[in-house]
Chains A and B, each alone.
Chain A
Amino acid sequence: MSITGSTVGTDKRGVRELGGEEKVGWDEVQQGVVLNSFDGTTEGAAFLKAEERNYADFNSYTATVASWRIIKPVYNRDICIDCQNCWVWCPDTSIISRDKQMLGIDYDHCKGCGVCVEVCPTNPKSLLMFSEATDNDEALAGWPVKEKKEK
C-alpha cells in the first residue's frame, strides 16, 4: 500500500488491488451482472462527501490503481492558493478538496499522469512530480524556490 496523501476518505478506499477480489462461484455472482454502487440505500451521492458514503465492495472506490504509478505528484500546502485547477482536471478523482480547500492527493486512485502539476498556476508550483520511491517529506524539504521571470 502506498503512502496516504490525505486522511479524508473511508477505510474502504483502495483496499484491494484490481483482480485481487475473491473469485466466488456461479451461485454467488450477481444476478444479471448488476453492480450496486453502495451498500443499503443512500440519500444521494450528490449530497454526500466520499467519507459519508457507504460504498459497496463493487464500487471501484474500494480498489487501488496505485501500482500503475511510476511517478507521483507531491502536494505542498504552503504554496497552494486553492485555485482548484488540479481538482477540475484530475482524470482520476484523486484531488481531495473539501470546502474550497485542497487537502491532498488520493494515492490509492492517482495514476501519476501529472496533469495536476501542469495546470498548477503557482510559482513555484504547489504540486510537483517525483519518483514513486521518493519520500514525501524529503520532496517537500527540497522544494524549489520561486522562479524569476526571464528578462
Chain B
Amino acid sequence: MAITSIKNLKEFSTNNDRFEGAHLLCPGCAHSMIVRELMNCTDDNLVISSNTGCLEVSTAVYPYTSWDTSWIHIGFENAATAVTGAEAMYKARKRKGTLKDPDAPVKFVAFGGDGSTYDIGFQWLSGAMERGHDFTYICLDNENYANTGGQRSSATPIGATTSTAQAGTHSYGKKEKKKDIVSIMAAHGSPYVAQLAPNKWKSMAKGFQKALETEGPCFINTVSACTTEWKFDPKDTIHITDLATDSLMFPIYEIIDGHELNILYRPKNIIKVEDYLGAQGRYKHLFKPENKHVIEQIQSDIDKKWDMLQRREEARI
C-alpha cells in the first residue's frame, strides 16, 4: 500500500486533498478533519461508503459531491455491508480478470456516525467484521444523532442532555452509560481496533495507516467534537478535543488481534473531567448542586477505565 509520510505535518501537508470544500458540514465540524486525514494517509484508490448521517447528508446532495474517490451511500445502517459488497466484487472481478486496471491499489473504507455504528447499524457492522472482509470501518463518534437535531444514542455519555434524554427539573439528562464499542469490536477478533482523536493528528494518522495496511476488518472509533450539539464555539473544536483526551474521557489506545492493548497517548497532566464537561453546554446542568454526583460518577468511571487500560497494557495478554 502507498502510505504517505506522516513524519511531520510539513511532509503530511504535501498530500493532495481528496475531500472537497463546499460540503455542508457545520463550521468547525470535526467530521471533515477526520475524513480528510484518513484520505491523506494513503495515495491508494479508495472505495468509501457512508451510513446516513451528518457526513453523508453534507457531502453528496445532488447535484454535488465532495468526494474525489468512489463513494456510496445506501441507508442509515448498512455502510459496512455496502463497502464489503464492493470488496467482494473487487475480489471476484480480480479473479475473473474483468477489472479495468487489476493492479491499481485500492482500500475499502466505511464511515458511520455513532448512531449508525453503536445503534441502528450495529448488526450490519458486526456481520461485516465477522465475515473478515478487508476493510476499515471508521466511526465518527459525536455521541448523539446530530444530523436529526441531537437525540440520544447509545454513545451519548451519562449526564449529557439531548432532545430525547433531556435535563430538566426531574432529570439530569441521559441515565445510561456509553456503550463500549471498542471492546465489542475487539471481541470480534478484529486484527486492529483503535480509539483515536483528531487533536492527536499523528497518532490518528498512524492508526489510520495501520488499519489500512492491515488485512482484514479493522475498526476505529474517533472522537468527533460536535460544535452544534455539544454546544461550544466552532473555533474550539480542537481545544475541546484536547480536553477530551487530556481528561481521559476519550483515552487513545489500540487493541491488536483482539487482545494486545497499547495506550497511544498519555497526558502529561491529566485534567479533571469537570474542565472538559464545563466547556460544553450539554453538560451545563451537571454543575447544579443536585447533579454533582453525576460528575463524580463520570470521574470515577474514567479513573477505573484508565486503570483497567493500563493494567491491560501492562499484562500484555
Give the CA-CA distance A53 to B153 in the complex, in Å: 40
Which of B18, B20, B24, B44 gathers the greatest number of chain A CB atoms within 10 Å?
B20
Interface residues on A, range: 35 or more
Answer whether residue B255 sits at the interface, using C-beta atoms and an 8 A cutoff.
Answer: no
Answer whether residue A8 sits at the interface, using C-beta atoms and an 8 A cutoff.
Answer: no
CB 8 Å contact bits of B37-62 with A (1 = contact, 0 = none) = 10000111100000000000001101
**Least CB separation from A56: chain B residue:** B65
Contact A115 B23 (CB under 8 A): no
Contact B27 A87 (CB under 8 A): no
Kindly provide the distance from the CB of B244 to the nearest chain A CB, expressed in whole angstroms.
15
Which B residues lie at the A interface, using CB under 8 A? 2, 9-25, 27-33, 36-37, 42-45, 59-60, 62-69, 198, 201, 227, 233-239
| A-B residue pairs in contact (CB < 8 Å), sample of 8 | A44-B43, A44-B45, A46-B44, A90-B33, A93-B17, A93-B21, A93-B36, A118-B235
Which of A35, A92, A111 gathers the greatest number of chain B CB atoms within 10 Å?
A92
- Within 54-106 of A, Cβ neighbours of B (below 8 Å) are at 57-65, 68, 82-85, 87-94, 97, 99-100, 106
User: What number of A-B contacts does a CB cutoff of 8 Å give?
Assistant: 153
19 extra A-B contacts, CB within 8 A, seeds A30-B62, A92-B21, A113-B235: A37-B65, A44-B43, A46-B43, A59-B64, A59-B68, A60-B20, A61-B20, A61-B22, A62-B22, A62-B64, A84-B9, A89-B238, A93-B36, A97-B14, A106-B21, A108-B22, A110-B21, A112-B27, A114-B235
Kindly provide the distance from the CB of A83 to the nearest chain B CB, expressed in whole angstroms.
6
Contact residues in A for B68 (Cβ distance below 8 Å) = 37-38, 45, 53, 59
Contact A35 B45 (CB under 8 A): no
Answer whether residue A125 sits at the interface, using C-beta atoms and an 8 A cutoff.
Answer: no
Take A84-B13, A109-B21 as given contacts and tell me if A60 and B27 are in contact as well, using a CB distance cutoff of 8 Å. no
Contact A50 B16 (CB under 8 A): yes
Q: Closest 7 CB pairs between A and B? A: A109-B21, A114-B235, A113-B27, A113-B28, A84-B9, A111-B27, A45-B68
Contact residues in B for A64 (Cβ distance below 8 Å) = 22
Contact residues in B for A53 (Cβ distance below 8 Å) = 68
Contact A113 B237 (CB under 8 A): yes
**Least CB separation from B13: chain A residue:** A84
